[in-house]
Amino acid sequence: MSDFRILLSLAGKADSLCGESNWSAWKRDLPMVLEADGASWDIIEGTTPLPPVTDADARSLYNLRNKQARTVIWSMINQELHPIILDKATGKDTYAALKAKFESTSLARRVALRTALHRVVHDPSKRIDVYIESLKDLRRQLKDMGTEVGDDYFKDILLTNLDHSFAHVHTSLLSQPSGDMIGCRQMMYIPEFKARSFPKNHHHPFTPSAVQPIPTGRPSPNFI
């Protein structure tokens, strides 16, 4: 199988870009597809420059991969987004156009994400990592816009919205050193935390009796 066919095969396994709502996740998937041939992602990202005219073979291969990457990206986005890239001749320009469209640094978008970050609801009837992952996803979206949410601030938000029934977990997290997000992750594996992470009569997902699917997160109405 050629490198190009491998890329197209992998592209078919990724979720298609549907717009701003899944741009952050799609942007993380794209390198996993284009890195399969060992060169295309570096070309798209701009890490690998166009070879000099004196190196005709390398220049030809660069241009071929750049054009093929355009087709791969085209196959990974919803049809209604195709007009955004129809006038782009290369994968590098195609990615740049999508990035400019969906990675806006507008004040309104940033404020909306920050607001959503503070309003994620912790549902104590669901696994605690559902709540944490909802917060982490918004944190990643803010990072994509160039806005960093530091570890201490992230932990403050996590603790602020933690359900009152997790009082022991709250106290344990407060005892962690400043900036120690490893402590937050480790909390999921200590007995006391695990005991508070599952509602009464809810089977642990790793036991044979666990027949219920892992629930999805429940963001607040303002979740973006």
Answer yes or no: pTM beyond 0.85.
no
The model's pLDDT over 115-127, given as tens digits with 9 standing for 90+, comes to 999 999 999 999 8
Q: Are 17 and 33 in contact (CB under 8 A)?
A: no
Three-class secondary structure of residue 17 per DSSP: strand
Which residue's structure tokens are 């900036």? Answer: 179
- Domain map (residue ranges) of the chain: 3-102, 107-197
pLDDT in tens, 157-180: 988 888 888 887 777 777 776 655
Among 133, 11, 25, CA closest to 69? 11
